[in-house]
Structure 1
Amino acid sequence: MSPDPSVVGCLGVLTVATRGGSGPGEARVRIRGGSETFLAWSDEALPKGETVLVVESRGGRAVTVVAWPDPSLLAVEMLG
């Protein structure tokens, strides 16, 4: 499956912790007027509940994420 560039730049929340290079977690990402779940890969391990920014689409409903320092922005976006 090809990458989905529309998910890059979206904010999400980890529903399953990532394990860095050891394996993915899962993120619920706000996209296309709703929210969708993606396999979430990150360079370092990130805990469940962490707010993340999608920086790359890997295709096949998988993304690369980084920790996002301001979770209040996600709360505003999710409620908006």
Structure 2
Amino acid sequence: INSAGGKIVDDSGKAAVNTDQAKAGLNNLVQAYKDGNIPTEAITYQEEQGRQAFEDGKLLFLRNWPYVYNLAKTDGSSTVKDTFKMAP
């Protein structure tokens, strides 16, 4: 949603998902799933499965940073340790 210029909550704290930008952001997510950019099996991943898939370069996004960041940077088998970045 943020990448399409939308917000989940506006500056006053009220829900703001009923906007064209929010809908476009959600549509990006849906399309990524349909196109296979988000693997079908990823919706059932537990923490360790998600971490391993991310380190293997099979997941574009991962949000469990307190657990994953250090491992993804230092794990000898991580294929993304020199290339991944974080964003708020």
Query: More helix per residue: 1 or 2?
Result: 2
- Where on the TM-score scale, by shorter chain, does this alignment land: which range? under 0.3
- Give the structure, 1 or 2, with the largest relative contact order (CA under 8 Å, sep 6 or more): 1
Using the size of structure 2 for normalisation, the TM-score is 0.21
Query: More strand per residue: 1 or 2?
Result: 1
Which one has a bigger Cα radius of gyration? 2
